[in-house]
A and B are shown apart, each in its own frame.
Chain A
Amino acid sequence: MLEIILPILIFTALVLAIIGAARRVRLWRQGRPSDVGFFSGLTAVPRRYLVDLHCVVERDKYISRTHVATAGGFAVAAPVAIAVHGLGLGSAWLTWPLLAATLCMFVGSLFVALRRRNPPARLSKGPWMRLPKSLVAFSLGVFVVTLPAAGVVPAAIGGWVLAVLLAAVVAWGLAEMFLGMTWGGPMKHAFAGVLHLAFHRRPERFGGGRSTGLKALDLADPQAPLGAGKPADFTWNQLLGFDACVQCGRCEAVCPAFAAGQPLNPKKLIQDMVVGLAGGSDAGYHGSPHPGKPVGEHHGALDEPIIVREGKALVSAETLWSCTTCRACVEECPMMIEHVDAIVDMRRHITLELGVTPRRGVEVIENLIATDNPNGFAPDSRMHWAADLNLPLMADVRDAAVLLWIGDGAFDQRNQRTLRALVRILRAADVDFAVLGNDERDSGDLARRLGDEATFQSLARRNIATLSQYGFGCILTCDPHSLHVLKNEYPELGGSYQVYHHSTYIAELLAEGRMEISPWKGDKVTYHDPCYLGRYNGEYDAPRNVLKALGMELVEMQRSGSRSRCCGGGGGAAIIDIPGKRRIPDMRMDDIRETGVSVVAVGCPQCTAMLEGVVEPRPEVRDIAELVADCLVPSAQKDQSGRKDNAGQPSPAVEILADA
């Protein structure tokens, strides 16, 4: 009897799955076009899946192995089962491997089930709680029905009751595995995930590459929407990417805003997008909500507004403004979904189309437009911090080995100390450098992340025009945000430079023996990885090498390197300042305190500002440049005023105000 039922079941499932797939593909295709290679993408899938994606999944060894067994078993079992039970091919070359594959899958399923016995908070529940049972049903069902085919048991064993029972089990498994894959069950991740890997909007990320720069809006195209106001405003492969979400909640576990109780859960946000894609409400979501935002009250559709304005829509604006763009979610996502791109797309809509950038964001954008700096300082006061340093101006020298990019930290008294320390280091190492002075403008980082693409592009184009007038080997900056924008986001607008973070540059100077260093005499230190240096630019080693070169004993925080926790200062989040239960920098400072150090080394003006904003007592926050300057041997120091005719030797640690 099973020989009749099984082919019917299998082919019905297949047909329904194909119908579901077509439906799903049609939904994705509602998104805007995206320039990705079709065949090249498809052929790249195996490598992307087995290498790139596996690398991310592998960070959780338990689930990685479980997934290999379960998914690997299924990947083999499914086609073979179609051959054996659908087409009736009974060769031992097929039946035995099918037994092996289903057994393998079964074992994997047991571990899935084990994980689901007491699942961590980040995992979604609901249908996902059913999945281990479905996996068992499929693997066990197919295993058992294959036993007669393999000749292990007689074909007629059991009678019709057992046959019906087995058919029901297999049907359940088939429904979950085949229909669920395209009609929206937990297994959807497999179908969408594979295609997402094929048509990923950042193919550069595969094969060990890095792609973190936001993509420019084409402001010249009057038809193009400015950002994403409705799900259909995303590109089709972004929509596809949302559908790939496996709801594992790794993003939730690393999101600083979520941990701080701000109304953002990246996993929920992606699921909101899925709701928007498929239409309906978020009532079917069974994971942690956006903190403080009840589930079930939001709904959306492809052509309906995403952002809640009056009443309810899909996503509250506060959710989007809570994001620090730290990319921790992106870095952790085993499906390589691009949360930050989506968030910025929606912010672009808020700022450019709706014009309702909240709170101080408006003021900051207006300042950037009027004064080229976010806090509205007089543009000609950009170099006040260096009035006594006689820094060579690019306008005078025209050519220098290094163009020192100051950044808006020029206006900040705290960061001025870092800048002065950096100048001291460059002078100690006899580096030929010059600055743009008042011709420098804000890099546009903040404007862009607040969604104001127009102001970003205006600032960027003017900076590029200024930079094009001069000759320089590289750009050096102590601001990872400037670094990121200049290095990764200006090329799309026509400005390509070699850009160094000061930690990278100092590490090279030290390696070359360009400065004499007296070893650090203080206590142990820890290092806080700035998101825009680490996750955005992959620089984890240079800062650590610098600290070690100073003779420091480095204690790592539990969250460090690519898993470093954001300080809360990026992406304009600190400016919009959506209330939560805790402040992100306070949490980060707790991470720092756990190491028991008295000094935390940083390499970013934002991080410094955020961490220094934490109430004392707390470890001292020092930029890497300051720590290096502290260790410069006096004889290696050059005159602080930059005058060549001066023989005086300054005493250590005074020029940068580090001693008071």
Chain B
Amino acid sequence: MAFEALFKPIQIGTQTIRNRVVSTAHAEVYATDGGMTTERYVRYYEEKAKGGCGLCICGGSSVVSIDSPHNWWSSVNLATDRIIPHFQNLADAVHKHGGKILIQITHMGRRSRWDGFDWPSLVSPSGIREPVHRATCKTIEEEEIWRIIGDFVQAARRAKAGGLDGVELSAVHQHLIDQFWSPRVNKRTDKWGKTFEDRMRFGLEVVKAVRAEVGIDFIVGLRICGDEFHPDGLSHDDMKQIAAYYDATGMVDYFGVVGSGCDTHNSLANVIPNMSYPPEPFLHLAAGIKAVVSVPVIHAQNIKDPNQAQRILEAGYVDLVGMTRAQIADPHIVNKIKLGQIDQIKQCVGANYCIDRQYQGLDVLCIQNAATSREYKGLPHIIAKSTGSRRKVVVVGGGPAGMEAARVAAERGHAVTLYEASPALGGQITIASKAPQRDQIAGITRWFQLELARLNVEVCLGVRADEGVLDMRPDIVIVATGGTPFLSQVPEWGAEDGLVVSTWDILNGVVAPGKNVLVYDTICEFPGVSAADFLSEKGAQVEIVTDDIKPGAAVGGTSFPTYYRSLYAKEVIMTSDLMLQKVYREGDKLVAVLENEYTGVQEERVVDQVVVENGVRPDEALYYALKPRSLNKGQIDLEALFEIRPQPCLSTLSGSGSDFLLFRLGDCNAPRNTHAAIYDALRLCKDF
């Protein structure tokens, strides 16, 4: 049997988990109505259970107390009995598919924000400020400690009353329990901080009180860190000591282990390793914990592949694998493994679009799977075949919008032809994958390639389609032709004279890297820092300049640190607040004139290459050529699109090939991002 280790059930506490795949706790940012697990939340977890997930641990950082605000990240609020019926819905949805579900409960202590909602004073063992959230806090008082322990008990009671299978106490990510543990934060000299036992006391009291409340038939787990990676923080040996200490109580049913603390931007990036990390970078820390405890150990962090998961489990490093982002990308991954449809798994590429949205308080979404967490809206992970007539669909452009449109139309059972001007599918994803440590993003394209082949989509590469596509008498034409780098916006840059080049040209290797290069990045998304990283990797001396607050400002919280590590290590100079005014040639050198945003003072750089990142200008030519002849004049009915309903114009189509509908998707419409392109393509085409 393939993947035998994955499908071996395991006991946690008194419960049987059907397989070894876990969706570990993550903040979903889906709770509404004051932190309730409403329909979106329920359907999101139901999809995972339906897809075969053994154990869902929902509600990363769900709060137990009112002074640990739930609002900022729309997390689950266990500080009220109102949650109980919502939990019942959630539990039923998961149980009916054979899954089990726990919720992570916590008090975040200082790791939150105070400047909103009830304006709480955040609490922490020693009142030391938390840098990532810029959160100042008060030193917690003994009465507050006992109140919060009582809040944990009430929260656990609510989880149990709601039919969930257990709770996971968060002692990770520098929440209140591990704030007490860590000497970096806990400087107390009283019985809550002086000795090892004192630092352990708060967590121990929580465990004891919660266990006393819920009894033995309810799972109580503890999620801990494997090593805080701070010289003054908890080391791996400290964590082994702590884990063994709690294990000895016999009251903890499992340990979840996360490598790395996260109270700085840089350590935060470790917690959810992006594509620059190797597979399972912190497995050794979890294995170290497993060596000292007697109950099952769960470990997540960059486990995305069935073979990898099988290897980890087979070798016995840990007992269960968290494949959390893997299931955000494909909630049916477990079923697909079982069905032997490994090639059909939409594998997480570590783009971290999900987590980077979450850190901004935005709902978690997948860069490549627009159906994830939109199940409640009726967006399907598995697209049903159309019962209507088989249409001829022509898609022009093989970037994310075009690939998704072609895939979805083909899943609907239509005859689909896709034209791509370049010799490969992928569009801007292909360009993005050329940067150092960004190659895995090409996984998005790889999946589409496999799916388009499986669905018998006719893919014509290296063909720049024109109005001639109408000769095929299509019923529907999708224009997804993307765009080109927008270098012409400022004529003084001299793009026409070749004084500046685009990040695309650099990454694609169309233009060889110069020796001394200025990268001007006014967008501050991935292409600018990627180009700077690429150039410096090739040996160029690089300065990246932006008029924004810092280079890569729009790159998410778990990805800018890995860029910075790379850029600083290669001595790339990062400069902010300067606008590129003009570029001119002087001898064999280029002079870039930069002006300070705030003072107006100009300065010059003498370089031999200027690379400009100024976003994308839509390529609209084919669209406008086809528009007048189309039945719907290229228009998308926005109400229908937003409500995930069929486009009304579909019913006007004759079906004889004498008329056609025209839609435009992705950057050729307006430059947005990969998710936007895929989302539009899915919601538009799913009713073709």
Which A residues lie at the B interface, using CB under 8 A?
A: 375, 377, 381, 384-385, 387-389, 411-414, 416-417, 639-641, 643, 646-651, 654-655, 657, 659-660
Contact = CB atoms under 8 A, between A and B. Distances in A.
Contacts of A659: 335, 382
A640 B92 CA distance: 11
B52 A657 contact: yes
6 contacts: A387-B16, A388-B98, A413-B339, A641-B95, A647-B92, A649-B96
B374 interface: no
Contact of B96 (A381, A412, A640): A640
A651 B7 contact: no
Contacts of A651: 50
A659 B8 CA distance: 22
B92 A388 contact: no
Contacts of B338: 413, 416-417, 657
A417 B93 CA distance: 21
B278 to A, nearest CB: 29
Given A641-B97, A654-B97, 16 more contacts: A375-B1, A381-B4, A384-B8, A385-B7, A387-B16, A388-B97, A411-B1, A412-B1, A413-B2, A417-B339, A646-B96, A648-B92, A657-B52, A660-B336, A660-B341, A660-B344
B2 A643 contact: no
B34 interface: no
Interface string B1-27: 110100111000000111100000000
A381 B8 contact: yes
Contacts of B99: 388
A639 B98 CA distance: 9
A442 to B, nearest CB: 15
Nearest to B382: A659
B93 A648 contact: yes
A660 B9 CA distance: 22
A14 to B, nearest CB: 67
Contacts of B8: 381, 384
B604 to A, nearest CB: 60
Contacts of B93: 648
Contacts of A648: 92-93, 95-96
A646 B97 contact: no
B48 to A, nearest CB: 12
Contact of A640 (B17, B19, B97): B97
Contacts, number: 73
A650 B97 contact: yes
Nearest to A639: B96
A647 B8 CA distance: 28
A631 to B, nearest CB: 16
B332 interface: yes
Considering the complex of A and B, which 4 residue pairs feature the smallest CB-CB distances, nearest first? A388-B98, A387-B9, A387-B18, A388-B18
Identify the interface centre among A375, A411, A416, A648: most chain B CB within 10 Å of its CB: A648
A640 B97 CA distance: 6
B491 interface: no
B20 to A, nearest CB: 11
Nearest to A638: B96
Given A384-B7, A648-B92, A657 B18 contact: no
A313 to B, nearest CB: 40
Contacts of B50: 651, 654
A204 B517 CA distance: 93
Interface of B: 1-2, 4, 7-9, 16-19, 50-52, 92-93, 95-99, 332, 335-336, 338-341, 344, 382
Most chain B Cβ neighbours within 10 Å, of A377, A651, A660: A660
Contacts of A643: 95
A655 B7 contact: no
Contacts of A646: 92, 95-96
Nearest to A654: B50
Nearest to B92: A648
A136 B339 CA distance: 64
Contacts of B4: 377, 381
A331 B344 CA distance: 43
B4 to A, nearest CB: 8
A660 B97 contact: no
Contacts of B52: 657
Q: Of B1, B93, B335, which is in contact with the most chain A CB atoms at under 10 Å from its CB?
A: B1
B335 A655 contact: no
Nearest to A656: B335
Contacts of A411: 1
A381 B10 CA distance: 11
A416 B18 CA distance: 13
A639 B339 CA distance: 22
Contacts of A414: 340
Nearest to A655: B97
Given A654-B50, A660-B336, A387 B19 contact: yes
Nearest to B95: A641
B340 to A, nearest CB: 7
Contacts of A375: 1
Which of A377, A417, A657 has most B Cβ within 10 Å?
A657
A414 B2 CA distance: 11
A359 to B, nearest CB: 21
A650 B49 CA distance: 11
Contacts of A417: 338-339
Contacts of A377: 1, 4
Contacts of B332: 660
A649 B51 CA distance: 16
A641 B96 contact: yes
A654 B335 CA distance: 10
Contacts of A389: 98
Contacts of B95: 639, 641, 643, 646, 648
Most buried by A among B98, B332, B344: B98
Given A384-B9, A387-B16, A660 B382 contact: yes
Contacts of A660: 51, 332, 335-336, 339, 341, 344, 382
B319 to A, nearest CB: 15
A162 B339 CA distance: 81
A606 to B, nearest CB: 16
A381 B50 CA distance: 23
B384 to A, nearest CB: 10
Nearest to B334: A657
Contact of A413 (B17, B96, B340): B340
Nearest to B384: A659
Contact of B98 (A381, A640, A649): A640
A165 B142 CA distance: 130
Given A384-B7, A413-B340, A657 B335 contact: yes
A387 B8 CA distance: 9
A413 B336 CA distance: 11
A413 B8 CA distance: 12
Contacts of B98: 387-389, 640-641, 655
A387 B7 CA distance: 9
Nearest to B454: A616
A384 B97 CA distance: 16
A4 B19 CA distance: 92
Contacts of A384: 7-9
A657 B344 CA distance: 14
A297 B536 CA distance: 77
Contacts of A655: 97-98
Nearest to B330: A660
A640 to B, nearest CB: 5
A388 B98 CA distance: 5
A375 B4 CA distance: 12
A640 B99 CA distance: 10
B150 to A, nearest CB: 30
Contacts of B340: 413-414
Nearest to A617: B456
Contacts of B336: 660
Nearest to A649: B96
Contacts of A641: 95-98
Contacts of A647: 92
A630 B340 CA distance: 20
